[in-house]
Amino acid sequence: MEPLELLECSSPLTREPLSAEQGAAVARVFKALGDPVRLRIVSIVASHGGGEVCVCDITAAFDLSQPTISHHLKVLKEVGLLVSERRASWVYYRLVPETLAELSALINVPATA
C-alpha cells in the first residue's frame, strides 16, 4: 500500500481526525521530509527543469558519498515522494504529484477570523 493511499477517501485534518493507520502513514512521509538532506533532494527535483533530475545532478549538489545519497533517495521512494526511471547507465527521479497534493490537502487549513 502506498503511504498516503489511506488518505484518498478521507477529509483533511479539520474535518475529521486521522485514524491510527492514517496517522502512521502520514508521519512516515513527514519523517522522511524532516531530514535536511532529503528535503533538499525534494527541492532539487521539484525545481529542476522538466520535472525530473538525473541522480548525477543530485549527487553533485552534496558533499556526501554516493551510497549516502542512494539511501536518502531510497527513503524518499519508499514513502511515495519520488519515482525513478533507469535510462542506460543513469537513473532519473521525479516527484509524485499525487503524494504532494495529498500532503497539501491534509495540512491546508482555512484561516479563521
Task: Enumerate domains of the chain plus CATH numbers.
Answer: 19-106 (1.10.10.10)
Burial of 63 (0-12, 13-18, 19+ CB in 10 A): exposed
Please list the pLDDT of the chain residue by residue as tens digits (113 residues): 455 654 555 455 657 788 898 889 889 999 999 999 999 999 999 999 888 999 999 999 999 999 999 999 999 999 999 999 999 999 999 999 999 888 888 877 666 65
Q: What angle do CA 34, 16, 80 make, to 5 degrees?
A: 35
**Measured CA angle at 48 (ends 43, 49), to 5 deg:** 155
pLDDT value at residue 5: 55
Residue 28's pLDDT is 95
For residue 30, the model assigns a pLDDT of: 94
> What pLDDT score was predicted for residue 4?
60
